[in-house]
Copies of this chain bind each other. A is one copy, B any other.
Amino acid sequence: MTAYAELERRFRRLSALNGALAVLNWDQSAMMPEGGAEARAEQVATLGVIVHEHLADPEVAELLASAEEGAAALDPWRRANLREMRRQQAHATALPAVLVDARARANSACEMAWRAARAENDFAALRPHLEEVLRLVREVAAAKAHAFGIDPYDALLDEYEPDGRAAEIDGIFAELRDFLPDLLGRVLERQARAPRPLSPAGPFPVERQRALGLRFMEALGFDFHHGRLDVSLHPFTGGVPDDVRITTRYSEGDFTRALMGVLHETGHALYERGLPGDWRTQPVGQSRGMALHESQSLLVEMQVCRSDAFLDFAVPEMRRIFDAGGPAWEVENIAALYRRAARSLIRVDADEVSYPLHVILRYRLERAMLAGDLAVADLPGAWNEGMERLLGIRPPDDRDGCLQDIHWPGGAFGYFPTYTLGALAAAQLYAAARERDGGIEPAIARGDFQPLLRWLRREVHGRGSSLSTDGILRQATGAPLGTEAFRRHLEQRYLI
């Protein structure tokens, strides 16, 4: 067996272990009773340590070195696979096993504490857990920064967005910071002059909301032979490409929140399901990174599902399933509702105009926490001030302030910017798709998403990790990631 073939065998085993972890994590959020938390933390931490041991095995380092010597003889996919194996191994060996274990346990414990703390608006209860998480994140960042010769924040970012760098994000975010507050102001002014859209009257029974979500998932191409829809506090996409689990949460008074959650996660799910089938068990078969992942969810949720074309198809379906009618259920009214911008408190419910400002706040705060410039104890104050400065509103409490997101309690520092990089990529990809194939949008108005899905399968999903994010975007859109398509999209949807 060649070194490369032996590596494929070992990474196949890692793929199964990571798949098991994905199921355990989905279950923890969607199914597990609270009392199972301790046992689950033990299971997840143990599997994490075993994954780490496998990657950090000195034999893997030898096999990688040997395979890399002969890399020129490999075809491009195998060569890319080898590069991704090295990337995973480098991340793993940058950390001692004891740190991997401690991090997994602290993240699990803090996430559970967050569930209670958020429900009870009790930041003080979260604080010691979050301090421990941050302490370990800083250790992780320092170890990886040292190993890779990059900045500590970049070392964390690299876990979610391979080759992502704060210097580039700074440039992109500076452009957004330049035009977005002004653009948001103009959108709100224009909106204030128009009649206020009517709110469809509830209650909307959960079973019907679920039926509506399933109907749209099916239309969008979600494969129920290989996936499910469930409920969790914070919507997410989990599982593995052949068994994709998405979640949402329902409120009987407002069906749009659950529906938008479903549409968003369906975008993630289509990406996972469309990853190259021949490379299921190998690193090169995995999704490229969280920016591209988010681009797929936002392409579905924001670009497609708030467009006129989609609403022409979707609103009659909504009327049918909720057995409703009247002026509130006209396409124009639903469109106005779905495109309502606001200076609002909650990121996951924010409109696409103001959303990047929520991200910029979190990006600044997490960089400050990581650098040691902001203590966890001072987070609520810094959050509230930042909200005031960037969005012009102040949270009344921490529940709707710094307790709203699961990310930091779950140990995910360096993740937030990928939301906005994804929004930019979504605008750029959807513009390119419609430019290349004029049939995409008319088909959507008929409820046919196949032309769009075919383009995405070919240009994005099916590439797996064979190219970099930048490489995929350049091939698909002819340009590197920028803010231009996003800005044009906002102007066309909100100001014309």
CA distance A142 to B292 in the complex (A): 53
Partner of A242, one of B17, B36, B45, B241: B36
A23 at the interface (CB under 8 A from B): yes
Distance of A45 Cα from B43 Cα, bound (Å): 17
Q: Is A321 an interface residue (CB 8 A)?
A: no
Q: Which residue of B24, B226, B281 is within 8 Å of A20 (Cβ)?
A: B24
Flag whether A149 is at the interface (Cβ < 8 A): no
Residues of B contacting A42 with CB < 8 Å?
12, 15-16, 19, 281
The contact string, 1 if C-beta is below 8 Å from chain B, for chain A 240-279, is: 1111000000000000000000000000000000000000
Residues of B within 8 A of A16 (CB): 39, 42-43, 45-47
Q: A374 within 8 Å of B by Cβ?
A: no
In the complex formed, the residue of B with least CB distance to A240 is B39
Residue A40 interfacial (CB < 8 Å): yes
Q: Which partner residue on chain B sits nearest A40 by CB separation?
A: B243
Tell me, yes or no, whether A223 is within 8 Å of chain B by CB. Answer: yes
Contact of A243 among B39, B226, B227, B242 (CB under 8 A): B39
Q: Is A32 an interface residue (CB 8 A)?
A: yes
B47 touches A227 (CB 8 A): no
- A135→B369 CA distance, assembly (Å): 60
- Does A367 interact with chain B (Cβ within 8 Å)? no
Q: How far is it, in angstroms, between the C-alpha of A242 and the C-alpha of B40 when the chains are bound?
A: 9
Report the separation of the CA atoms of residues A46 and B225 in the bound assembly, to the nearest whole angstrom.
23
Given contacts A39-B243, A243-B36, contact A46 B20 (CB under 8 A): yes
CA distance A15 to B13 in the complex (A): 20
Interface residues of A in 431-479 (CB under 8 A from B): none
Known: A43-B19, A43-B23. A35 touches B223 (CB 8 A): yes
How many copies are assembled? 2
Contact residues of A: prevailing secondary structure:
helix
- Contact (Cβ within 8 A) B46 A239: no
Q: How many Å from the CB of A5 to the closest CB on chain B?
A: 18
Docked Cα-Cα span, A36 to B34, in Å, equals 26
Contact of A47 with B20 in the complex, beta carbons under 8 Å: yes
What mask results when residues 33 to 71 of chain A are scored 1 for a CB within 8 Å of chain B, else 0? 111101110110111001000000000000000000000
Q: How far is the CA of A33 from the CA of B26 in the complex (A)?
A: 14
Query: Does A83 sit within 8 A of B, measured CB to CB?
Result: no
Does A31 make an interface contact (CB < 8 A)?
yes
Interchain CA distance A40-B239 in the complex, whole Å: 10
Report whether B33 and A224 are in contact in the complex, using a CB–CB cutoff of 8 Å: yes
Q: In the complex, are the beta carbons of A33 and B227 less than 8 A apart?
A: yes
Pairwise interchain contact A35-B228, C-beta atoms closer than 8 A: no
Is A31 in contact with B33, judged by CB distance below 8 angstroms?
no
With a 10 A CB-CB cut-off, give which of A31, A34, A46, A243 has the most chain B CB atoms: A243
State whether the Cβ of A27 lies closer than 8 Å to any Cβ in chain B: yes
Q: Measured between C-beta atoms, what is the minimum distance from A302 to chain B in Å?
A: 28
A225 and B35 form a contact (CB under 8 A): yes
Compute how far the CA of A89 lies from the CA of B388 in the bound complex, rounded to whole angstroms: 62
Q: Give chain B nearest CB distance to A136 CB in angstroms.
A: 20
Instruction: Contacts A17-B46, A24-B23 given; indicate if A34 touches B225 (C-beta within 8 A).
Output: yes
Interface residues of A in 352-385 (CB under 8 A from B): none
A38–B243 Cα gap in the complex (Å)? 10
Most chain B CB within 10 A, of A34, A43, A224, A239, is at: A43
A227: chain B residues within 8 A (beta carbon): 33, 35
A-side residues, CB < 8 A to B, are 12-13, 15-17, 19-20, 23-24, 27, 31-36, 38-40, 42-43, 45-47, 50, 223-228, 239-243, 280-281
Beyond A23-B23, A36-B226, 7 extra complex contacts between A and B, CB < 8 Å: A12-B42, A16-B39, A20-B43, A33-B225, A33-B227, A35-B242, A36-B242
Q: Name 12 interchain pairs, CB-CB below 8 A, sorted by A.
A: A16-B47, A19-B42, A19-B43, A20-B46, A23-B24, A23-B40, A33-B224, A33-B228, A35-B223, A36-B239, A40-B243, A42-B281
